[in-house]
Structure 1
Amino acid sequence: MKKQEIKEPVERITIRHVAHDAGVSVAAVSKVLRNAYGVSEALRLKVETSIEKLRYRPSVAARAMRGRTYTVGILVIDLFNPFLPPVIDAVNEALSQSGYKTMIGVGRGASVIEASMIETMIDNRMDGVILVAPRISDRMVERFAEQIPIVVIGHHEPEATGYDTVNSDDRIGAMLAVRCLHDRGYRDIAMVGYDRTGSPSSVVSLQREVGYQEAMRDLDLADRQRILRLPPPEEPRDEAIKSLLAHPGRPRALFVWSDLDAVPILAAACEAGLRVPTDLAVIGYDNSPVAALPLVDLASIDQDPSGIGRGASDLLLSRIEGRREAEHVLIQPRVIARGSL
């Protein structure tokens, strides 16, 4: 029987390792880390070379020793989601009142890019990071949170201990959408979601699916519940939407997981000659600016993006001030009824 190899635990690189490698004192490394006055360029280069060589990343406690930079990083999935501008505006306004500036990075929904950008924010000595709908796993977020204060938006991890979350109560929002359709007399109510293969369990669409199913059961419509899945958001979906609307078993009413798909569904319904809401009722989620346009007139769930942004900023500031216990905040959504009902 082959003897199992026992791997030695990987030693954590500390400030002492950096000092030894650079041939300087721990105090000298600390001065470089906190950008202290009077540090020579030669010393700075020597220390930073060792930091890069050893891949040393200071802990949150060590970062606090060198003082603040009064900068915060915001990492978003893209710049096209209409939910994002009011969130970012609220974050900027709240943080600026405390003297902080923000820098925005775009992760493009790729976990490798997101991880690299977070590391860059850490290396640039930012005081904290706000992540919006990240694709990286909870485990990775927890690891980064050991190095920098983090608050996450659009990421349901109520058991996380190292970082905070702020979300719309997506489960309740979905239930409100279904009940709104039910109150209008609809019983054949389906949900339009997307293929979540490869997505983390923290994505908001999962909570919206849970809320849809719960509401259908509560309304004694469990036998009529259906989740119709489009391709993932990064893939073309026009043909899938057309097929959904052309299907002979098309539902009478649709709860769509996001206005990102609800608006194209309304456009495709119009092209197909379907009357909204006479032939098809639709309610989306996000209450995007497009939904309110008279020619769109899409009913939607408003998740108070400004409130989410302010809440995330408040939590991050208290994290930076030293709070350690995790907080997970849910913002209550509301129905915005329009002509698509």
Structure 2
Amino acid sequence: MPVEDKQKLQRNERVTIRTVATHAGVSVAAVSKVMRNAYGVSEALRAKVTDAIEALGYRPSRAARGLRGRSFTIGVLLIDIRNPFLPEVIAGVNGVLAPSHYQAMIGVSDARVQLETSLIESMIDYKMDGLVLVAPRLPSEIIAKFAVQIPIVTVGYHDAGATAFDTVNADDQRGAEIAVEALLACGYRDIEMLSLGEREGHAVSVVRQREIGFRRAMQRSGLGAAPIGKIPIASPRREDTMRKFLARKDRPRAVFCWSDLDAITLLSLAMEMGVRVPEDLAVIGYDNSSTAALGLVNLASIDQSGRELGQIATRALISRIEGRTASEHILQVPSLVNRNSLTRSKGTKHDG
């Protein structure tokens, strides 16, 4: 379509999905399928519709979509934006949405149930088509009630018995076992875990799942009930707890941290206090964050591939939106990325 015709069309009438369908010579349903990146759309159809959208300058009205029951918007709710694992999850979500006409809207809570509930309700009120909840703190029965109103997929929430919503996780129990096995393989026997405080104790959380795996691996190796230290949520108590750990006369020879979030802080404090890593203390974190790979950090860490988890969760959510009702519970196997905080050898990656 010549530019002058396109401008005339835009001046005189609003370009609608029907206009696009007529211009492309296809049905409205076909245009809709291309826009939501539906399964089975041929490249020829996609090209026709895309060319028509570009030629007409079509921009779908999100308000109208919401009134019709589809906004092509997905809500992503994060609990703790400080965690370096989260950008990878978001990148995975956006990677799947990029070729589609869905967009992600991100909400950030701060581990308060009331705020988390309020954000979910707001996302529902804004007619979002589905929600990805990353490490939610809500009880399963409350998430299930929301899932009656809107398709939901959770990441970092181990409830394999849920029927109203899907779960996508790394196998956190196995991840902790891999960490212990790596420490044992390096000759360490005096091993502890640093975990989060008791108020993070709901059984479906990644924190508690990693504790289960740690205890099981230690008992299986004949080391018995190994101690698990608790790190408080709030600073400066968080750093104070780690300082006390490093200053202990009976400090263990090796430590597995529940997350890179605290393992990196531990490395920094160890350097400050003159504790050599790994000569005095071997350290393994969890998440394989981008910071862990920096040369000055060099933290061995369990890689749960946050980007892949975000991709899988988004595909599962779109499948839910398209009508799937049977629940799915997906577990990905994590792996160890070996760096200098474990051994001084060249970094390698070992699958679990």
TM range (shorter): 0.7 to 0.9
Extract unaligned runs of 5+ from structure 2.
1-64, 343-352
Contact 1:190–1:251 (CA under 8 A) maintained in structure 2: yes
Asked if structure 1 preserves the Cα contact closer than 8 Å seen for 2:202 and 2:208, the reply is no
The residue that corresponds to 2:138 in the other structure is: 136
TM-score normalised to the size of structure 1? 0.79
Matched residue count: 278
Is structure 2 residue 182 aligned with structure 1 residue 180?
yes
Q: Does 1:339 align with 2:349?
A: no
Alignment of 1:8-157 (within 5 A): 66-157=68-159
Q: Secondary structure at the match of 2:309?
A: helix
Helix, strand or coil: the match of 1:72? strand
Q: Provide the alpha-carbon RMSD of the alignment.
A: 1.6
Amino acid across the alignment from 1:310: Q
Unpaired runs of 5+ residues, structure 1, are 1-62
Show the counterpart of 1:239.
Answer: 240
The residue type equivalent to 2:174 in the other structure is I
How far residue 126 of structure 1 moved from its aligned partner, in angstroms, is 0.7
Moved over 6 A (4+): none
Q: Deviations over 1:301-325 (max 9, x none)?
A: 0001111011001110110011111
Contact 1:136–1:200, Cα closer than 8 Å, also in 2 = no
Contact 1:135-1:199 at 8 Å conserved across structures: no
What is the match of residue 274 of structure 1? 275
Q: Work out the CA distance in 2 between the residues paired with 1:278 and 1:78.
A: 33
Which residue of structure 2 aligns with residue 248 of structure 1?
249
Shift of residue 92 of structure 1?
A: 1.2
- TM-score with structure 2 length normalisation? 0.76
Task: Give, in angstroms, the shift of residue 232 of structure 1.
Answer: 2.6
Q: Which residue of 2 aligns with 1:161?
A: 163
Post-superposition shift, 1:198? 5.5
Deviation for aligned residue 1:141: 0.3
Q: Which moved more, 1:63-72 or 1:213-222?
A: 63-72
Q: Structure 1 residue 218: deviation in Å?
A: 1.5
The farther-off stretch of 141-150 and 87-96 is 87-96
**1:235 CA displacement:** 6.6
CA distance in 1, matches of 2:211, 2:66: 41
Note closer, same or farther for the CA distance 1:217–1:312 as it changes in structure 2 (3 Å cut).
Answer: same
Q: Return the offset for 1:98.
A: 2.6
* Cα distance change, pair 180–139 in 1 and its aligned pair in 2 (3 A): same
In the TM superposition, what is the alpha-carbon distance from 1:150 to its structure 2 partner? Answer: 0.2
User: Following TM superposition, by how much is the alpha carbon of 1:200 offset from its aligned partner in structure 2, in angstroms?
Assistant: 2.6
Aligned counterpart, 1:44: none
Q: Which amino acid aligns with 1:103?
A: M
Mapped contact 2:69–2:127 kept (Cα < 8 A): no
Q: 2: CA distance between counterparts of 1:310 and 1:277?
A: 35
Q: Deviations over 1:152-177 (max 9, x none)?
A: 01111111110001111100000000
Q: What does residue 265 of structure 1 align with? A: 266
Contact 1:194 1:233 in 2 (8 A): no
CA distance in 1, matches of 2:106, 2:169: 20
Letter in 1 for 2:94: N
Distance in 2 between the 1:235 and 1:155 partners? Answer: 28
- Contact conserved, 2:168 with 2:313, CA < 8 A, in 1? yes
Q: Is the 8 A contact 1:269 1:275 kept in 2?
A: yes
Q: Distance in 1 between matches of 2:73 and 2:280?
A: 52
Q: Distance in 2 between matches of 1:328 and 1:101?
A: 24
How far apart in 2 are the matches of 1:179 and 1:318? 37
Q: 1:126 to 1:234 in 2, by over 3 A?
A: farther
Report the counterpart of residue 324 of structure 1 in structure 2: 325
Mapped pair 1:204 → 2:177: no
Quote the Cα distance in structure 2 between the aligned partners of 1:194 and 1:69: 38
Q: Corresponding residue for 1:21?
A: none
